Amino acid sequence: MNWGSFLDIARRCPSPHNTQPWKARVLDDDTLLLCVDRARTLPDEDVTGCFIWCAMGMFVESVRIVAANAGIG
């Protein structure tokens, strides 16, 4: 699998307040490590963390859609 092309498209997905707080690191052909970039969070506005949960879910779903479009489930 070519993670680079999937991530290049998926990283453009929207997120609350347009923060895109994710960092993704490819571990191997089948594994992607997804982390929150704390420098891109909004601690004063997102006191419950709900924006982060939404943003990360949106990114994961974007990766899934891009992969499905390439025929990878």
Summarize pLDDT for 39-71 with one digit per residue, the tens.
999 999 999 999 999 999 999 999 999 999 988
Interatomic CA distance for residues 71 and 29, integer angstroms: 15
Tell me what percent of the residues of the chain surpass a pLDDT of 70: 99
Residue 1: predicted pLDDT: 62
CB environment 25-48: b (16+ within 10 A), e (fewer)? eeeeeeeeeeeeeeebbeeeebee
Q: Is the pLDDT of residue 73 over 80?
A: no
Give the pLDDT confidence of 6-21 residue by residue, as tens digits. 899 999 999 999 999 9
Interatomic CA distance for residues 36 and 40, integer angstroms: 8
Q: Record the pTM.
A: 0.85
Residue 51: predicted pLDDT: 92
